[in-house]
Structure 1
Amino acid sequence: MTSPEAFHGWLGHAPDSAQGKLKWESFTPKPFAPTDIDIKVSHCGICGTDIHTLRSGWGPTHYPVCVGHEIVGHVVRIGSSVTRISIGERIGVGAQAGSCLKDDCEECSSGMENHCAKGFVGTYNGRYPDGNWSFGGYADYVRVPSHFAVKIPGSIPSADAAPMLCGGITVYAPLKKNGAGPGKRVGIVGVGGLGHFGVLFAKALGCDKVVAISRSRSKEKDSISMGADTYIATSEDKNWAKIHQRSLDLIVSTVSSPDMPLSGYLRLLRTNGQFIQVGAPEDKLPAFSAGALIGKGCKIGGSQIGSPREIEEMLRFAADKKVKPWVQQRRMGDVNQAVVDMEAGKARYRYVLVNDDFEDHAKL
């Protein structure tokens, strides 16, 4: 069992690739290092970040790019320095493939690699210190430093594990860090790929109350099925901010649109409440009054994915609590339609690409 010299994947060559114009082509991964592993990809989730990157929404993308950072597969090659991972083992890779890992780095030395300011490398569209670019999981194989590969509990199916590696950890980490659990009332803004994980994890963490917050009532039934106790539709419920004011200890916002009623969300917080933003709009957040924070001693913060240690903790928690994401599987060969459907908001609630026959992909 080994990996080929050249990998194949669905490559984007320009911003219009986000419109379903990816091409199945060969690419050369970074040179194999002693600390690297090669993974034969079986599953890869579609993340909103993929679409932002394909269309250069957060800044110029380095094309050609192979996106996908919710990767699950089996190890087919390990470097000479790799000791904790074995050939054939099922492994996951999230949104990060590198950091400086130096002892004098405050973040890396304390288990916060995801906040490393000196050498953060994204799993795709990231540049390694040697100048090579990273390629993601819309592919047959992926090569990554072993430090950023995580082990997946046997009880979690690969299709469920894949979207947890970015979507899941993006909400699990701020929930856990900010005290979500018994005695806490938590709101999740946006019931989508990220937000549905927020509802699932908040419920599994034992929060006293879980409130799903969305624009319309179209996702109310789903949210209640996921574990939400209350549902707020901000575009349909009159005086929602007044009716529900001072009712939540923590709000995690997953929306990526700058067009959000932020002042209304802050009104929902109790004294010393916290608002944590994890969605990343391509534009600025709306303005708000400082009084919304001062009057109640509230805080606004942010959170970015999670470290490998946190991801493995989340996976163990998900296995223990039997957290099951709402996943729709799509063939890797149908990725262009899947990306279009994702952008159109059709996913309920996370698409996962499944590699079944690489030869067929090359014909499409």
Structure 2
Amino acid sequence: MSTTDYKFEGWVGHDKDSVGNLKFGTFEPKTWTEDDVDIKIEFCGICSSDLHTLRSGWGPTDYPQVVGHEIAGKAVRVGSNVKGIKLGDRIGVGAQSGSCLACEDCNKQKESYCANPPGMIPTYGGKYADGSKSTGGYANYARVPSHFCIPIPEGIPSEIAAPMMCGGVTVYSPLKQNNVGPGMNVGIVGIGGLGHFGLLFAKALGARVTAISRSRSKEADARELGADDFIATSEEGWVQKYARHFDLIVCTANNADMPLAEYCTTLKVGHGKFVMVGAPEEAITFSVFPLLMANVSIGGSLIGSPSEIREMLELAVKANVRSWIEVRDLKDVNQALIDMEDGKPRFRYVLKCD
């Protein structure tokens, strides 16, 4: 299929006040190559990254901008160099749509950490080697290099798969990298879009899972998601009760005022690890003494590789992992963004892109 009879249209952010104020219009996708796939978007999850980007919270955004990197849809144009994808296939796209594919990290299936030009190209807000712009999924179509298009297996509805493409794999990746399995104690900080996936996948991997939040307002949901235990950090005594308890804590929170030193005291001596996947807009400061006194570490994890997305989807089928979602119409995206900012979803909004 060498020509298209469709145009790329979607909801576009034009300035730092774009949250709740996107404008519908046409946009220019990346320059077509025979390594690319055009996707008729059916669903796109709303991620907190979309909010940060639309308001330039992580730095200046290159407006105009079409966000959305939790895409699920069907292939409607497939380049002649593409292997493993054919017209009509259900495919998903996460937070990355490009890398050099030749460096040591890419060859080790760590494409999200590619440092060679053009480097890690995000699905929106990035630039390809030819200077064309990457654009996201609040739209009718997306054009993405095939390496970053992931077949969606039978057994997962597209609306359930969409938020796994970023939110799901963002927590699955550090769980797998730290060999989470039976006999391990894992804590998940933050019971939101990312955190609910953390509970689901840590449980699916066989760990004993503790949900960690400021209050107990989400305790019932957390236990339904698979949490074996629950910590409310606003209550006294939790640090002492869980001292040197966790093999791993994955933090999905975006607030800079988290009790980071206290979290570190709950890690097991010698190997306990605290991994950030949330990204506060402000700097976090804390005392290093909990790290020194227990020989524990703090790390970070960006997103997940294409191979990890495939592996995660296979686990989701095997363990019947299902995203907790509320489907919203794409035409109502501005209100959905406002509701997202207000913390209303339980636990992911997914836009239906008719």
Fold conserved between structures, TM > 0.5: yes
Q: What is aligned with 1:362?
A: none
Asked whether the 8 Å contact 1:67–1:137 carries over to 2, the reply is yes
Secondary structure at the counterpart of residue 295 of structure 1: helix
Q: Deviations along 1:284-308, whole A, 9 cap, x unmatched?
A: 12222x2211222111111111110
Query: Structure 1 residue 112 and structure 2 residue 110: aligned?
Result: yes
Q: What is aligned with 2:304?
A: 306
State the one-letter code of the partner of 1:282: E
Q: Deviations along 1:207-250, whole A, 9 cap, x unmatched?
A: 1x210000111000000111101111112x11211122111111
- Give, in whole Å, the separation in 2 of the partners of 1:171 and 1:303: 8
Asked whether the 8 Å contact 1:3–1:141 carries over to 2, the reply is no
Per the TM alignment, residue 346 of structure 1 is displaced from its structure 2 partner at its CA by 0.2
Q: Deviations along 1:230-275, whole A, 9 cap, x unmatched?
A: 111112x112111221111110000111110001111111112111
Matches within 5 A, 1:1-364: 3-4=4-5, 6-18=7-19, 20-102=20-102, 105-118=103-116, 119-207=119-207, 209-235=208-234, 237-271=235-269, 272-288=271-287, 290-356=288-354
Q: What is aligned with 1:360?
A: none
Q: Normalised by the size of structure 1, how large is the TM-score?
A: 0.94
Per the TM alignment, residue 97 of structure 1 is displaced from its structure 2 partner at its CA by 0.4
- Give, in whole Å, the separation in 2 of the partners of 1:291 and 1:355: 50
State the one-letter code of the partner of 1:311: I
- Give, in whole Å, the separation in 2 of the partners of 1:3 and 1:158: 24
CA distance change for structure 1 residues 233 and 27 in 2, over 3 Å: closer, same or farther? Answer: same
- Give, in whole Å, the separation in 2 of the partners of 1:44 and 1:325: 13
How many residue pairs match? The answer is 350
Secondary structure at the counterpart of residue 272 of structure 2: strand
- Give, in whole Å, the separation in 1 of the partners of 2:273 and 2:73: 37
Gaps of 5+ in 1: 357-364
State the one-letter code of the partner of 1:63: Y
Per the TM alignment, residue 3 of structure 1 is displaced from its structure 2 partner at its CA by 4.0
Displacement over 2 Å in runs of 4+: 1-6
Per the TM alignment, residue 5 of structure 1 is displaced from its structure 2 partner at its CA by 5.5
Per the TM alignment, residue 205 of structure 1 is displaced from its structure 2 partner at its CA by 0.6
Secondary structure at the counterpart of residue 83 of structure 1: coil
Secondary structure at the counterpart of residue 24 of structure 1: strand
Asked whether the 8 Å contact 2:73–2:92 carries over to 1, the reply is yes
Asked whether the 8 Å contact 2:265–2:294 carries over to 1, the reply is no
Asked whether the 8 Å contact 1:5–1:28 carries over to 2, the reply is no
Asked whether the 8 Å contact 1:8–1:25 carries over to 2, the reply is yes
State the one-letter code of the partner of 1:275: F
Secondary structure at the counterpart of residue 199 of structure 1: helix
State the one-letter code of the partner of 1:131: G
Q: Normalised by the size of structure 2, how large is the TM-score?
A: 0.97
State the one-letter code of the partner of 1:306: G
State the one-letter code of the partner of 1:181: G
Per the TM alignment, residue 37 of structure 1 is displaced from its structure 2 partner at its CA by 0.6
State the one-letter code of the partner of 1:16: D
Secondary structure at the counterpart of residue 80 of structure 1: coil
State the one-letter code of the partner of 1:50: D
- Give, in whole Å, the separation in 2 of the partners of 1:161 and 1:206: 21
Per the TM alignment, residue 28 of structure 1 is displaced from its structure 2 partner at its CA by 1.3
State the one-letter code of the partner of 1:149: C
- Give, in whole Å, the separation in 1 of the partners of 2:256 and 2:312: 29
Identity of aligned residues (%): 57
State the one-letter code of the partner of 1:351: Y
- Give, in whole Å, the separation in 1 of the partners of 2:38 and 2:29: 10
Secondary structure at the counterpart of residue 217 of structure 1: coil
Asked whether the 8 Å contact 1:167–1:194 carries over to 2, the reply is yes
Q: Root-mean-square deviation (CA), in Å?
A: 1.1
Per the TM alignment, residue 84 of structure 1 is displaced from its structure 2 partner at its CA by 1.4
Secondary structure at the counterpart of residue 167 of structure 2: helix
Gaps of 5+ in 2: none
- Give, in whole Å, the separation in 2 of the partners of 1:3 and 1:65: 23
- Give, in whole Å, the separation in 1 of the partners of 2:230 and 2:206: 18
- Give, in whole Å, the separation in 1 of the partners of 2:228 and 2:84: 42
- Give, in whole Å, the separation in 2 of the partners of 1:117 and 1:347: 35
- Give, in whole Å, the separation in 2 of the partners of 1:239 and 1:286: 23
Secondary structure at the counterpart of residue 6 of structure 1: coil
State the one-letter code of the partner of 1:305: I
Secondary structure at the counterpart of residue 313 of structure 2: helix
